[in-house]
Structure formats: structure tokens, C-alpha cells
Amino acid sequence: MVESRQSYLLAAESAVELLRHPAVAASWDKPSALVEFSVAGLAGHLAHQLVRVGEALAPNGAVQPPITLLEHYTRSPWVQAGLDHESNLSIRRGGEAAAAAGPALLVERSQALLDMQRAALASEPADRVVNTPAGWPLLLDDFLLTRLVELVVHGDDLAASVGVETPGLPPSVIDPVVELLARLAVHRHGPTAVIRTLSRAERAPATISAF
């Protein structure tokens, strides 16, 4: 199987295990580490990344040529929008809706999706193009990388929210996430800002956040 697909599956497995942790259910109705997100909503948003992949893998017939990852993030309104922007409000509503049936059912559904995706991804061609929820096409492996970022970042958010250690993940998962975040940070802030932050704390800008 293509390495990006194995990396996604490892991250998805880690996310499902985190969702299964008793601390998540115990903190379900509490605020999370993310502003405006409850623990339930954040858990739902984390789990929803598997739903997105399941939707993308559905037969989609003819699609347009894929765009690049950089263009994908440039087009996405949530990347630089405020918390009250409709795109971010929709994300929070989606997380709460995904979690509405409670932690046990969320874990059950996520595990079932993961099991199906293990088999499905192994049979997908290398040049498979999928339609994204945003309405534009990406190569399947590029789309999986976007979900990999979400799973790693929000896995850390959820762990911090419920007081457990952030899941340990191998370099095959972490390296592509760090690389993509660095590329997005350079695109947003410029190379000098990123280089200074990584090498010269005394001249570092206030932030080089990718999002």
C-alpha cells in the first residue's frame, strides 16, 4: 500500500483509540482546549475525518483534474477566518452533530469506518482523484494528507482537553504533517519569518502559524 495511505490509517487508528479512552467520555460535556468547542464537539470533529475519507472513497464517476494542496488550502475559507466566520461555525456544528449520539456510538462508528477503509484504500489506484467536501478535486493521497493533518492536530487538542498524553505517532505520520505545515507557514508568512523563528528567537515574529 502507498505510504501515505498507511500513514493515514495509523493516524486514524490512533484517533479511534484516543476516542475510546475513558477520560474522553468522562469529560464529554466540558469545554475543550479549543475556544468554542466542547470535548464532545472536538471528539466529533476528530472522528468526522474518517467520515470525510469514507465519503471521498465513494464512486464518483468523472471528475475534473485535481488541484494542488497549496491551492486547496488557499481556497479554503476557514484557514484564515475568525471563529465567528460561517465556515468555522459550520465546523463546530458538524462536530457537535457527529457526537450527538454519545461517546460509545461515536467510537463504534469510527472503528467500523476504519475497518472498511483498511480494505478500500489498498485497492485504490495511485492516480485516483476524489471530490472533496469543499467542491473541488484532489488526488486521493493529497486528500488523505489533509486528513492526516487534522487527525494529528486535533488528536493533540483532544488529549490536552481531557488531561492525557498526546498519542505517540511514528515518523511516517509526523514527518509529512510537519512538512506540510511548514510549507503552508512559508506560503502565509514568507520564508524569512519561518527561518527566523526556527533559528533566531531574538528576531522571530509573533507567529508563523500555518492556519
Q: Answer yes or no: CATH 1.20.120.450 is held by domain 3-168.
A: yes
Residue extents of the structural domains in the chain: 3-168
**Cell representation of residue 57:** 472513497
Q: What is the pLDDT of residue 81?
A: 57
Q: What is the pLDDT of residue 142?
A: 96
Helices 39-57 and 86-98, packing angle to 10 deg: 90
pLDDT-derived band at 11 (thresholds 50, 70, 90) equals very high
Higher local confidence (pLDDT), 85 or 58:
58
Q: What is the mean pLDDT of residues 44-72?
A: 90
Q: What is the pLDDT of residue 167?
A: 93
The answer to whether residue 88 scores a pLDDT higher than 90 is no
- Whole-number Cα distances in Å, 90 to 41, 47, 77, 94, 96: 12, 16, 12, 6, 10
Q: What is the mean pLDDT of residues 4-10?
A: 96
The answer to whether residue 124 scores a pLDDT higher than 90 is yes
